[in-house]
Amino acid sequence: MLTYDNNQPMYKQVIDDIKKRIVNGDFSHNPQFPSTRELAIAYGINPNTAARVYKELELQHICYSKKGVGTFLMNNLKLEEDLKRTMADNLLNSFLSNMSDLGFSKDEIIEEIKKED
Amino acid sequence: MLTYDNNQPMYKQVIDDIKKRIVNGDFSHNPQFPSTRELAIAYGINPNTAARVYKELELQHICYSKKGVGTFLMNNLKLEEDLKRTMADNLLNSFLSNMSDLGFSKDEIIEEIKKED
Amino acid sequence: MLTYDNNQPMYKQVIDDIKKRIVNGDFSHNPQFPSTRELAIAYGINPNTAARVYKELELQHICYSKKGVGTFLMNNLKLEEDLKRTMADNLLNSFLSNMSDLGFSKDEIIEEIKKED
Amino acid sequence: MLTYDNNQPMYKQVIDDIKKRIVNGDFSHNPQFPSTRELAIAYGINPNTAARVYKELELQHICYSKKGVGTFLMNNLKLEEDLKRTMADNLLNSFLSNMSDLGFSKDEIIEEIKKED
DNA sequence: GTGGTCTAGACCACA
DNA sequence: GTGGTCTAGACCACT
């Protein structure tokens, strides 16, 4: 769900959510994304903000837009896989770097994760 | 190192850095922080920004200021430990939640970490 | 080839392509254009878009339509020549103006062209 | 000057104009760009559109923004030169390709340019 | 005062 | 109906 008190702007939160949906295969059978107006309603945001989401995703080569037609998942067989890999790597790198700065060794980090519910 | 291309504002980056230094014991023998001017020079930031850093750290009960004297690490035996625990928990929660959204199970996450050099 | 990532709309890309074909004499022996349906298939575009192409070419007095018969190249001996002249002039003007804004003198421009393979 | 009847959106026209000014060395002594509000007034556009210009230039690694401070020309010694080269290459490629499609040989193209005033 | 984000609403070009 | 652009105005975070 979108949060307003977050330091992350709404359009980035929506982008992240869509990326996760792509990774989970939500668009593997139908590559067409909801229209900007539908997206706006679905997330409770302004149509302009929704358009910004797709524009940003287009810059990242994740989707492309045809004026008057719609917005589509990029035609790339490995896109879901690559996206998952890239996002996971980013999370891993920043997490491990920060934990290391706090003085955790790799073994300790793994211990911490195992302790979590 | 501080970056401008980061979504994190300067003052938060400095705050995080100082917190990490506290956790690593950099102030355990000398609880006095550098003056705002020294801090500004050390991090290459505006003195106003440096002042904001201490103001924020004060609000989080991590330091206190004596007018005309300086800024000091809060006199709390468990502060380092608590700080480490809180920061680690925040990192862990957000990391595990995001990895889970990407479809990684706990075991897979641990595998990924082991793979990192 | 037609591209969607182009700032040029599909129908203008097709119009330009047809104009180039006219200049190259592709219709000098048979002035009849393909039907809108054939055009749509040939270029992989929507029939509505194909119709728009001919409508636009008609407005520019490049072709004319006979209802129930087809679309034909305008019967004008100098049309190919005029078209070539007009298009070349447009290209030349905008190119020279832009290169000049970038600080290229006429001689430098010619040098650049000679360098191209 | 900006034109509204142009197929080019205003923000792209402004971007092109700024790029040309960079190539011409307008920012070589003072890397700070006008504020978004100043830019808006200077070009007679909405501040949002002005902000969009800088955001786009930032994506192209031509400038960077510091929140609360300003927008600056990227610190890259060869940027002006590279920009000039890239823009010229784009103009040359598209021009030569289009002229060639119209049936002009390289020598004929050079002749055409010499004929221009 | 600077850039960043968001809303609300409008108009356009395209298919 | 779709995406693209622009305006007007507001509020926020940062320096």
Q: D13-30, pLDDT tens digit by residue?
A: 999 999 999 999 999 999
* pLDDT score at D36: 97
- CATH number of the structural domain spanning residue C60: 1.10.10.10
Q: Please report the pLDDT score of residue A5 as a whole number.
A: 63
Q: What mean pLDDT comes out for the span B52-63? A: 92
pTM: 0.89
Label residue B79 by pLDDT band (50, 70, 90).
confident
Task: Mark whether B68 and B83 lie in a shared domain.
Answer: no
C23 and C45 together in one domain:
yes
The pLDDT, as a whole number, for residue C66 is 87
Contacts of B21-24 with C-beta under 8 Å, sequence gap 24+, read: B22/B62, B22/B73, B22/B79, B22/B80, B22/B83, B23/A102, B23/A103, B23/B80, B23/B83, B23/B84, B23/B87, B24/A101, B24/A103
Does the pLDDT at position C7 exceed 80?
no
Q: Which residue has the tokens 């407005």?
A: C59
pLDDT at D41: 96
Cα A65 vs. chain centroid, distance in angstroms? 18
Please give the DSSP secondary-structure letter assigned to residue C32: B
The answer to whether residues D28 and D51 belong to one domain is yes
**Structural domain includes residue A3:** no
Say what the pLDDT of residue A34 is: 97
Contact D67 B5 (CB under 8 A): no
Query: For residue B92, is it within any domain?
Result: yes
- C-beta of residue C94 within 8 angstroms of C-beta of residue D7: no
Q: Which residues of D touch C103 (CB under 8 A)?
A: 23-24, 84
Same domain, C15 and C69: yes
Looking at residues C29-51, what average pLDDT do you find?
90
Residue range B32-46, pLDDT digits in tens:
999 998 999 999 898
Give the pLDDT confidence score for residue B87 in this predicted structure: 93
More confident residue, C74 or C99: C99
Is the pLDDT at D7 greater than 90? The verdict is: no
- A98 contacts A112 by C-beta, under 8 angstroms: no
| Nearest protein residue by Cα to C1' of nucleotide F8 | D46
Mean per-residue pLDDT, B59-77: 88
Rounded distance between C-alpha atoms, residue C95 and residue D38, angstroms: 30
**What is the model's pLDDT at position C14?**
94
Residue C102 has pLDDT above 90, yes or no: yes
Within-domain flag for C92: yes
Q: Kindly state whether residues C14 and C64 are assigned to the same domain.
A: yes
Contact A84 B96 (CB under 8 A): no
Average of per-residue pLDDT across B1-26: 87
Whose CB is within 7 A of strand E? A 9-12, 45-49, 52, 66-69; C 9-12, 45-46, 48-49, 52; D 7, 33, 35-38, 48, 51, 54-55, 58, 65-71
Interchain CB distance below 8 Å, D66 and B4: yes
To the nearest whole angstrom, how far is the Cα of B13 from the nearest Cα of chain A? 12
Which pLDDT score, from 0 to 100, does residue C29 have? 85
Residue keyed to tokens 């307008």: D26
- The total domain count for chain B is 2
- Assess whether A56 and A92 both reside in one domain: no
pLDDT of C117 strictly over 80:
no
Confidence category of residue D104, pLDDT binned at 50, 70, 90: very high
Q: According to DSSP H, which parts of chain C are helical?
A: 10-23, 36-43, 47-59, 79-101, 106-115
Mean pLDDT, to the nearest integer, of A100-116?
Answer: 93
Q: Same domain for B39 and B85? A: no
Tokens of B100: 């889970």
Give residue D111's pLDDT: 94
Same structural domain for residues B48 and B95?
no
Same domain, residue pair C61 and C94: no
Chain B positions in Cβ-Cβ contact with residue A25 (cut-off 8 Å): none
Residue A4 lies in a domain: no
Q: Do D43 and D62 fall into the same domain?
A: yes
| Within a domain: A1 | no
**CB A64 to CB C9 under 8 A?**
no
Residue to test with chain D: of C85, C109, C110, C117, most D Cβ within 10 A: C109
Residues D67 and D83 in one domain: no
Note whether residue D3 is domain-resident: no
pLDDT score at A116: 80
C-alpha B22/C-alpha B73 separation (Å) is 9
Residue in C with minimal Cα distance to A70: C4
Write out chain C residues lying below 8 Å of D99, CB-based: 88, 91
> Which are the contacts of C51, defined by CB distance < 8 A and separation ≥ 6?
C36
- Taking only the tens place, the pLDDT of each residue in D37-85 is 999 999 999 999 999 999 999 999 999 999 999 999 998 889 999 999 9
Q: How far apart, in whole angstroms, are the C-alpha atoms of residue D99 and residue B90?
A: 61
Residue B46 lies in a domain: yes
For residue A15, give the DSSP letter: H
Domain span at B92: 79-115
Q: Is some CB atom of chain D closer than 8 A to the CB atom of C106?
A: yes
Contact D116 C104 (CB under 8 A): no
Answer yes or no: is pLDDT of B70 > 80: yes
Q: Report residue D5's pLDDT band, with 50, 70 and 90 as the boundaries.
A: low
Tell me if C2 is assigned to some domain: no
State the pLDDT confidence band at B66, using cuts at 50, 70 and 90.
Answer: confident
Are the CB atoms for A53 and A39 separated by under 8 Å?
yes
Tell me: do A59 and A37 sit in the same domain: yes
Which pLDDT value is given to residue C116? 81
Q: Name the band, by pLDDT with cuts 50, 70 and 90, for residue B99.
A: very high
Q: How many residues does chain B have?
A: 117
Distance CA A73, CA B81 (A): 47
- β-pair type (A70-73, B63-66): unpaired
